[in-house]
Structure 1
């Protein structure tokens, strides 16, 4: 293990030990150290006679996707996603989301480097469930979601993981473009800005990558899944708006609880109608978890500003270099000015389709 890595982690523990609980940070350190101890260069894994042939072929294809990301999308050309680690578990981390019983605004936790974010990640699911149970006991809505990958924002080289190598190539490409985007621009204390930017990059990147593959079937399949994602997001956003209106209504708590259940059920019914009509079951498991404020918020934070980012890219005539420069500039603005700066690009999006 590189001394530099250990020194950085030790320094972070000293800085944060008194503010959020040393136990939480130790699990973060141990999880990261375990990941580093498992990673191997992709070329080494491919050349290992003991490597499963399916994994070997997948790594070869993913290496091409990684090269495309830097060459064509101007994403960082560094050591990230050029190594592989088998974590021997289904997810990289489990994120805990929470929101008050009568609010769609998620709780935040603040950390060094990353700033304030609306989730709290754990390498062990039991730890995540334990923390969420404590929040639920306080009356909060909680949601624990498994995450196949996360970004260290370019501070370290993030590896490919077994947690997503079973995905179709098109989904791995989308994930890599998203995670690498976090290394391009990052605004402290603004999860919506950061995640919306990454989703915009993955959206634009996927169109370019699929165009380069020349597979009409793959493109058609992706567009079908993308449309389903958009419908899902629209359904959840409508629910969020209804809940927000309810929580501002001043109704008595008991009446509000009854109406809340009805609104959440309405969301589920809208999804079932879409799912039955489109023959798409991709979000069945999400709805099976009995959605609440926290679960609704976990979706909205990834999508709220995506149209504005795509409009900004369109205004820059699809030039990703200029687009990234503008995003970095906006990321450095005060938080309350960022959304307004992005929305200056919205009129152009109505005149031309986003690239």
Structure 2
């Protein structure tokens, strides 16, 4: 009887593996990437005690530790074992994110990942696999975009290390990044990617301002530079989101019989106008800071396609919702607001 049950279990597992082979194969690739990181990290204490590491790097590592303590003690994000080790990327990207979209609708290619839910992007540690997936989407008629990933959260399944590519960030950008990822580890709602990313962006920006004000003061250069950067990108985000409405309205006018050449002409004409008109957005950032964050803007020599706008909808569409709810219903009391969110939206 025991042998028969064992054979049945093995048969079921084999059947599931065949049925979900694409995700089993993808999961193995991601697991190898994660294992590579885990096996090559160093405890932060070793890095700080090693004289071969420059003081500038050690200063940023200590700053990350301060940010993490602030996020847990002051923002009441969940305690985490992350950012207690260090991983040197040696100048290479951590991983890549592939976003796909329909060519004439702002509708993302979605991936249903077992346990975690539906995502409008797919992460890759393996660049060859990334490029094959990108080529396949394009052959299927989708717009695509590849972004390098600066950091990621495993939602508490693993302990994320401090990554060497984080350490070139300004104080405010670093605080925002760490608090963003710790928010994912505190609250992550299944099948609600847009909600999760918008919430983490909101908390990351709010938390970064509070941290900078507490550590440096509101008249300090780090605080004022970050605030100016945040305000600039709020204006830029609003501009791009308005652009998504313009594109959506255009695409709704397309009929099945509309020639592809006409669709493409109108599409790229509209996108070119959205990008070029962004020059009118006021910018009070200090020039050195502006240069550090300018990579977020579109490259005008290579016009962004629908996948670029999908990324903005995923990360920025609900920012005003969170701000208004936080201020009007909770009077700016972040602890009460976070408690409400955790009780209202069960996390994985």
Normalised to the residue count of structure 2, the TM-score between the two structures is 0.85
Note the 1:239-254 alignment, pairs <5 A: 239-251=243-255, 252-254=258-260
Q: How far did residue 301 of structure 1 move?
A: 0.8
Q: 1:218 maps to what in 2?
A: 222
Could you say which structure has the larger radius of gyration? Answer: 2
Q: 2:342 maps to what in 1?
A: 328
Work out the CA distance in 2 between the residues paired with 1:14 and 1:69: 44
Note the 1:270-285 alignment, pairs <5 A: 270-274=277-281, 280=290, 282-283=294-295
Work out the CA distance in 2 between the residues paired with 1:238 and 1:126: 35
Contact 2:64 2:174 in 1 (8 A): yes
Work out the CA distance in 1 between the residues paired with 2:249 and 2:112: 28
Structure 1: unaligned runs, 5 residues or longer: 1-11, 334-355
Q: 1:18 maps to what in 2?
A: 19
Q: How far did residue 287 of structure 1 move?
A: 2.4
Contact 2:75 2:207 in 1 (8 A): yes
Q: 1:261 maps to what in 2?
A: 268
Work out the CA distance in 1 between the residues paired with 2:246 and 2:146: 23
Q: Secondary structure at the match of 1:286?
A: coil
1:312 partnered with 2:313: no
Contact 2:232 2:283 in 1 (8 A): no
Distance change in 2, residues 1:95/1:112 (3 Å): same
Contact 1:62 1:169 in 2 (8 A): no
Q: 1:9 maps to what in 2?
A: none
Q: Secondary structure at the match of 2:154?
A: coil
Contact 1:179 1:198 in 2 (8 A): yes
Task: Output one character per residue of 1:124-170: Cα deviation in whole Å (capped at 9) or x when no partner.
Answer: 33322221111001110000000110000112111111121111122
Length, aligned pairs only: 322
Q: Secondary structure at the match of 1:73?
A: coil
Work out the CA distance in 2 between the residues paired with 1:199 and 1:237: 16
Contact 2:23 2:113 in 1 (8 A): no
Does 46-55 or 158-167 show the bigger shift? 46-55
Q: How far did residue 23 of structure 1 move?
A: 3.0
The RMSD of aligned alpha carbons is 2.4
Distance change in 2, residues 1:192/1:272 (3 Å): same
1:50 partnered with 2:32: no
Work out the CA distance in 2 between the residues paired with 1:55 and 1:181: 25
Work out the CA distance in 2 between the residues paired with 1:142 and 1:181: 28
Q: Secondary structure at the match of 1:38?
A: coil
Work out the CA distance in 2 between the residues paired with 1:285 and 1:230: 12
Does 292-301 or 269-278 show the bigger shift? 269-278
Q: How far did residue 302 of structure 1 move?
A: 0.5
Structure 2: unaligned runs, 5 residues or longer: 1-12
Work out the CA distance in 2 between the residues paired with 1:95 and 1:304: 19
Q: Secondary structure at the match of 1:301?
A: helix
Work out the CA distance in 2 between the residues paired with 1:284 and 1:323: 29
Q: 1:349 maps to what in 2?
A: none
Q: 1:201 maps to what in 2?
A: 203
1:112 partnered with 2:114: yes
Q: 1:287 maps to what in 2?
A: 299
Task: Output one character per residue of 1:170-195: Cα deviation in whole Å (capped at 9) or x when no partner.
Answer: 21110001000011111111111000
Distance change in 2, residues 1:231/1:268 (3 Å): same
Work out the CA distance in 1 between the residues paired with 2:177 and 2:283: 27
